Each structure stands twice: as structure tokens, then as C-alpha cells.
Chains A and B, each alone.
Chain A
Amino acid sequence: MQIFSEIAPGVDGIYVENTRFNTTLVSFNFFVPLSEDTVADNAVLPYVISSCSYDYRDYSKLNFKLDMLYGADLNIGVDKVGDMQRIKLAISVINDEYAFEPQTLIDDAVELLLSLVFRPAVENKCFFADDVEREKRKMKEHIIGEINDKRVFAKNRMLSLMFKDMPYGMSKYGTAEKVEGITGTSLYEAWQRLITDSYVRVQVIGKKLPDGLFSRVAEKFSAHRSIQRKVYPTAAPAPTADSVNEVTEYYDVSQGKLVMGFSSEVYGNDAYSLSVMTDIFGGGPYSALFENVREKMSLCYYCSASSVRNKGLLIVDSGVEVENAEKAVSEIVNQLELIKAGKFSKFIFEASKKSMCSSLKSYNDSIGALDGWYSTSVFEKTPKSPEEVSDIISSVTIEDVISSANGIKLHTVYKLLPAKEDK
């Protein structure tokens, strides 16, 4: 991995050389603070600028061009990374040697991506109404459609309760109402903020760094940016509570969902003991939750834990039958207490570390996973590679795990249960 620091103010480049893929990927990752006022505009913007541009005014023509580049994949993503909103525009394309006739596929794909980012279809500092309205409609449908997947819906609902009035509690897309309020002008302002004020990570993964790519990118950004970088990625720790916040909501479903949010005293970029502790608690099929809550006690059909190191946040996510919901809550808490007391086997401890190291090693086998890895590791100037993190995970001790577990405190319990009249 090579880092090209500050190729323009607030813009870093990363090149990960990887010879095993038939594909090359280039991604632009813009980081802006999560804010009620801008979150919806920032979320809709990448969909508008990736559907048409000054050079490809119509999205059918743009998609035709992508098809002609042998299915160049234009991947758009909006995510929360710490207290930042990450807007990703990535393109991946097969290497030139696979084209039917000699063609510079990678250069053409990079040129296309640059034109989408820097030459949007605008007039008088305003995006065109038909483009804006089309993408607003799709985004509103996406937001209200989240209820269609109860597992994701319940998890997001828990986060909004636990992080009430905090940036991390926001939906990464904003609300349908906020999306409705977007105009061509507000979107243009969002585009300007992205180009001038955000922190940017430009990543390239492939066999070869395309000639002059970072200098072209630097030139484009430098034209828009002042010397002082204005935005740095940040993440505030999860809140703690004196008493547990319990919320139950009822929907027309036959099976319930239970999501629990915990705060962790151990947090930050290097809080790898929290990652190992989370895996022992509810990672693989060897974990405490799978082994006991699902298998032995049959309280949940699925029950797993995940954590966000930078936020000091641990989440337990499960599917429960309504009559088991209360029992599941107490058993999940009980399993955590056992870990706090060091009551887990050395076998499980080793199994967790082996499983985590094995999956870390496999990051190098997926171009998309590598892109995701480096565009999430933005809280340190020099991101660690998956291999480096694997070495750190290997060195975590049982004492580290116990100490990490003892800093975990339940904050919110959210239950999504079948509507009462159905019972």
C-alpha cells in the first residue's frame, strides 16, 4: 500500500497494488460531518451526479457508455463512518487486455469518473429539475422501503433511540421529509461543499497505478480548494445511561426482532480488544450467544453481536418469538456477565482470534472488500493493512477481553413485536 498524502488540500491518495484481480478499481470517498441540515442533500447528490453529467446528459447514454466499457461498475454508497457521512463513488473495470479489440478501458473509466465528479450537469449553479426530482423520488422510496427489511429496520431504529439528538442517530440518508425539501440549488451547494470542504480519500486498487492519475486528481481538486483543510474525520464515543432505555413497537409481523445497544468504555481506533470480546460474545457459531441463546435454549433464530470500535458501541441483533423476548433479553445480559467474569473457555477465545485473523487475511482476495477496508480506516493518518490488524488481534490476551467486557453497559433495548390484535 502506498500513501500519497495531501495531493491537494484535504485530499489523500492510496494505491493498493494487487496483481490477483482481472479488474482495477478507483474510488472517491468524500467525508463530511453528519448534520441534520445537510445529510439528505449529501445522500441524494451522488445518485444525481452518477446518473448524468455535463458530458452524458441522459442516464441511458451514461449507462450505455458503462456497458460499452465492458460493464464498468459504477458503485455509489452513502454510509456513516464515525460521526461522518461517507459518500462513495467508485468505478471498477476489467483490465485492458480483456477487451475484444485494443482499448484503454481503465483510462476511459477514470476519465468518466472524473467527469461525473467534476463536470455535473448544472445550469446557473443549479441541478436540472428532472434529474433532481427523479433521484429524490427514488431516495424517498428507499427510505420508506426500509421497513420491508425488518432486521435492518429494527437495527436502525435502535440506533436512532440510543443516539437520540446525536449525529450517529441520524439515518445516513436523512428523512423522507428532508429529501422532499431538496432543490436543484441546495444540491449544487452540497456538491460545492463536497468538492471544496470535505476530507477526500481517493483509492486505487489493481495491478498498476494508472499513469498520472493522482496528479490529475490533484489538479482538479486544487482548482477548488484553499490551503486549509476544514474537515477532519471524527467519532465521539457512544452515550452511557444510568437506566436502560426500553422501547417496544408493534407491527404486522409474525416474528419479533430484538436489538440491544451497549456502550463500551474501551473505544477508539486501537480498541481491538473490543473487537475480540464482541466476537467471543456473538461472532461465529462458537460464540456465547450462538451456542447458548440460539442453540441450547432456542430463544432466537439468529442472535449475533457486532461492534463499532471508533464509537465504543456494541449491538446485539436477534430474531425472537414474542413469548421468548423477555427471556432472551435476560439471557443475553447473562451471557455478557459470564464474559465479564472470565467464564469462557480458552477454546472459544482462540477460536475467535483464529476466525478473525482468517477473515482479515481474505480481504486481499476481494477488490470490493479492500476498497471498503481503506475507506473506513480514516481515523489515522496511515491506515493499517488487514495483515497488520491480524497481528494485533493475535496479540490480544484473555485479560484484555475481560477488561474490555467490564466496560460494556446496556443502554437501549428495542423490540419490534407482532401487533397485539394478531396474537
Chain B
Amino acid sequence: MTTNVFKSEIIGESYTEVVLENGLRVFVYEKPDFDSSYAVFGTKYGSIDTAFSLDDGDVVNVPEGIAHFLEHKLFESEDGDAFTKYAATGAYANAFTSFDRTCYLFSCSNLFEKNLDILLDFVQNPFFTQQTVLKEQGIIGQEIRMYDDTPSWCVLFNLLEAMYHKHPVRIDIAGTVDSISKIDDKLLYKCYNTFYDPSNMFVCVCGNIDADAVTEKIKNGVRQSNCSEIKRYDAVEPESVVRSYVEKQLEVSIPLFCYGYKQPVSAEVTLYDSVCVNLLLKVLSDDASPLYKKLTDAGLINDEFDAEYFTGRGYAAILFDGESWDPRAVADAINSEVLRLKKDGIDEELFEAVRRDAYGLAIKRFDSVNGISMMLVDGAIHNYNIYDELEIIKSLTVQDISKYLRYFNADKSVLSVIKKGC
């Protein structure tokens, strides 16, 4: 068992990471002033893990959407479902699956230890039968159909499908009605036994708790590791995009758009890269930026306009989304502004303003126990200290972020649009 303590002079707080004998990483952040506590039990397993092998065995290809399916099924156990157990304590419980992770969480303002017992218990005790799997196919099928009616979801997944040739990020996290019909109890157990091994998992806790007591409880409540090595087989993704424009018709009033630049990924995007690109996005499209003013005054964007750096294992893209009567004009204006910045450089005053803005937002994130827990989850997956962002922002200069302008390559961009049918 090894212990690391991370401290921040800026925030005046600290947290600990304990790596247990079985490989499970436990992050505990005490917030004694708070009334509530938040805990996440997660695995580095998401929708993009569609091909893998264990201990150099045969490669297993699984149906799309199985990680999300497994998340739904894990709430059931032989002695009732986890929600019923939480109902007895008053905790709020939930779970989510994204591209690279599945997380089970609760928040509560009392009976923390009891809630932690429930969490450790149900995540470590799967129980599926072919009959319960069949029932779940119906429920998830309805969920998939709900996403089909959600324009903001469709505009993103259409973009990813047009951007990526092979990488599984192009597939909806929940899969398709067809793909989930291929899931059975045996496949679920196979995935569970591979990815829900303590060595591939983490627990992140934040709130009004005692770090030593929590760590001890987790240590005693988790099983041994059975797994030595998981190999993931990610398809080799070309640098090009599949097509540069994609459109779908749905019941919307104003067209929705998502415009993205695909970035070649040779190594994992670091926290430093991510902070730099996010600052660059603020310089480019923050509401104090010339581009934002130009687009707003031209009536091309409204308050829905937003930008994000979308990254994960084997993929990275810079995305702009919003509503516009003329999405193509918005994309063109973004490209022109990128060219201007490449030519004229970044305004020092604006850079300083967005640097402070980013710093203030990063400070505010420590005002929330669930916000801190989610930062701990990110830190666990990408191996960084959650205080590093503050130090990085403090240290950055215009030159540091200018280098990242090369990621904005119009030749590798995609525009996705959702508009009303005729």
C-alpha cells in the first residue's frame, strides 16, 4: 500500500491517494466545513473499449453499447436493487457511462459509511440472467430512441461519425437497438470480469468525512485482483475526416450546428495541453473576443454558442456548437479568425483577461464536493494532481498557447447541422 499526499498552497487544502495491494486507487478529499459528501466508484471502461484481450489471450470484440448496458444491469443484485438500499439511507444515487469510464456515485448528508458499503457491495457483486438482460434491452432501446429525438445529442454524434473513420468514439455511447440485441449474460460477465478488476478501478470521495476511516473501510471492503493485464485494441485512425459536412432533419426551429477540427493524436493529450487549448478557445471565442462580437452583431450566434476541447484515449477535437440560421457562415468566420490569429498573433490584454477568467473558474470548482470528486475522477484516469491546473494557468504566456493554433486545421474540419425537415 502506498500513500501520496497532494497539497495546494493556493487553496489551502490537501487530499490523499492510497494505492491498495490489489491496485485499486483511493482518492480522499476532506471538506470538514461541508454538510454533504460525495463518492464515486469507477472503472476505466467506457463505450470505446470494444476490442480487448486479457493476459495476451484471444482478442474479444464486443457489441457497441455494452459498457452502458453493464452499468444499467449492475444496480440489480440477488438481494434486490441498489436504489432500494439507498432509499433506506436517503442518499441520492446515480451512475453514468462515457467514452472512457463508467462511474457509480452517491451523495448524502448522513450515513456516509452505510452508503459506501452499499456502493462497494453492488458494484462488486454482478448478477445477470438472460431474462433480466432481455428486459433491459427494452428499457435501453427506449433510452436510445430518446437520444434520437434530442437534437443536441444527434448534432454531436453525427459530427463524430463524419470525423472518425474507425475510432469507436464515432459510436453512440448507448449503442444501437441492433447492437444491444447481441448482448447476453455471458458477454456481460466477460466484460465485467475484465474491466471491473480493482487494478482497473478507482474510488474518489470528497466531503465531511474522515480520510483514514474511509480508506480503511474501502481497504476492507474490496476484493483481490484477478487480472494481470488488459490490452485494448484501438483501430488505427487516419488523420483525415470521413466527410466535411453532415446534415440531419429533426423537429427544431433554429438549426443546430457543431463545427469541429480533428487533431491527429500521437500521444495522450496532457493536462498542460488541455489547459492551453482551453485558454486558446477563450481567446478565440469567449464573449469578450472579437469573433464573438462579430458573430453576435451579424446575428449569427446567440447565447447557446460554446466551445470545448473534446479529448480521450486516441481522439482529440476542438468543437464549437450552438444555434444559427447560417452554420456555414459561423464556420467560415471561425476559420478566418484562426487565420488572423496565426498571422497577427494573440492580443496580450485579451490573453491576460481570459487567463484570469480561467483561474477564477478553476478556484470556484473547489467550492463543490461533487465538482472536486469529478476532478479526482479525471485525475485518476489521466494521472494528474487536481491542483496542477491552477499552477499551469498561473504560469502561462501568450507564446505558450500560440503553439496550439496549429491544431485548427480547416482541411480536417467537419460541420454537422440539424435543421427542420421540409
* Chain B residues with CB under 8 A of A23: 363-364, 367
Interface SS, A side? helix
Q: Is the CB of B299 closer than 8 A to any CB of chain A?
A: yes
Q: How far is the CA of A68 from the CA of B351 in the complex (A)?
A: 10
Per the bound structure, the CA–CA distance linking A244 and B43 in Å amounts to 49
Task: Give the residue of A64, A142, A147, A354 whose beta carbon is less than 8 angstroms from that of B350.
Answer: A64
Number of interface residues of A (CB under 8 A): 63
Q: A148-B252, A150-B149 are in contact. Are A64 and B90 (CB under 8 A)?
A: no
Tell which of B219-227, B231-239, B289-297, B337-345 binds the partner: B289-297
Q: Is the Cβ of A358 less than 8 Å from the Cβ of B135?
A: no
| Cross-chain contact B251 with A20 (CB below 8 angstroms) | no
A176, closest chain B residue (CB): B253
Q: With a CB–CB cut-off of 8 A, which chain A residues contact B36?
A: 358, 361-362, 365
B146 to A358, Cβ gap below 8 A? no
Q: Any chain B CB within 8 A of the CB of A321?
A: yes
Whether A59 touches B92, Cβ cut-off 8 Å, given contacts A148-B253, A253-B149, A298-B139, is no
Question: A-facing mask of B129-168, CB < 8 A → 1, else 0?
Answer: 0000001001100110110111110000000000000000
B110 within 8 A of A: yes
A147-B253, A254-B145 are known contacts. Are A358 and B290 too (CB-CB below 8 A)?
A: no
Pairwise interchain contact B297-A134, C-beta atoms closer than 8 A: yes
Select the stretch in A31-39, A93-101, A260-268 that faces chain B: A93-101
Q: Name the A residues within 8 Å of B10 (CB-CB).
A: 98
Within 8 A of B (CB), among A303-353: 319, 321, 347-348, 350-351, 353
User: Contacts A70-B359, A252-B250, A358-B92 known; A285 to B302 CB distance under 8 Å?
Assistant: no
Number of interface residues of B (CB under 8 A): 74
One digit per residue, 1 when the CB lies within 8 angstroms of any chain A CB and 0 when it does not, for chain B 107-131 equals: 1111000000000000000000000
Q: Which of B142, B292, B364 contacts A301 (CB 8 A)?
A: B142
Instruction: Judge if B68 is at the interface, Cβ distance under 8 Å.
Output: no
**Cβ of B292: which chain A residues have Cβ within 8 Å of it?**
60, 63
Tell me which residues across on chain A come within 8 A of B150, comparing CB atoms.
149
Nearest-Cβ distance from residue B82 to partner chain A, whole angstroms: 9
On chain A, the residues within 8 Å of B109 by CB distance are 357-359, 361-362
Task: Pick from A60, A145, A286: contact of B290, CB below 8 A.
Answer: A60
**B110 CB contacts on chain A under 8 angstroms:** 358, 361
The contact string, 1 if C-beta is below 8 Å from chain B, for chain A 236-256, is 000000000000000111110
B146 touches A60 (CB 8 A): no
> Are A252 and B251 closer than 8 Å at their CB atoms?
yes
A21 within 8 Å of B by Cβ? yes
B139 adjacent to A301 (CB under 8 Å): yes
Please give, as numbers and ranges, the residues of chain B lying within 8 Å of A252 by CB-CB distance.
249-251, 420-421
Residues 355-390 (chain A) with a chain B CB within 8 angstroms:
355-359, 361-362, 364-367
CA distance A144 to B349 in the complex (A): 37
Instruction: Indicate if the CB atoms of A94 and B91 lie closer than 8 Å.
Output: no
Residue A71 is within 8 A (CB to CB) of chain B in the complex: yes
Tell me, yes or no, whether A162 is within 8 Å of chain B by CB. Answer: no
Q: Are B142 and A319 in contact (CB under 8 A)?
A: yes
Interface-facing stretch out of B27-35, B56-64, B397-405, B408-416? B27-35
Contact between B250 and A94, CB atoms less than 8 A apart: no
Question: Is the CB–CB distance between A142 and B145 below 8 Å?
Answer: no
Between-chain CB contacts (< 8 Å), 22 pairs: A22-B364, A63-B292, A66-B288, A67-B353, A68-B352, A68-B356, A94-B363, A134-B296, A134-B297, A138-B303, A150-B149, A150-B251, A252-B251, A285-B87, A298-B139, A298-B142, A350-B88, A355-B91, A355-B92, A358-B92, A361-B36, A361-B110
Known contacts A67-B288, A137-B299, A359-B109; 10 further A-B pairs (Cβ under 8 A): A67-B357, A71-B356, A71-B364, A142-B303, A144-B254, A284-B87, A321-B142, A321-B145, A358-B36, A358-B91
Q: Which of B's residues lie within 8 Å of A, judged by CB? A: 10-11, 31, 33-36, 83-84, 86-93, 107-110, 135, 138-139, 142-143, 145-146, 148-152, 249-254, 256, 286-290, 292-293, 296-297, 299, 302-304, 323, 349-350, 352-354, 356-361, 363-364, 366-369, 394, 420-421
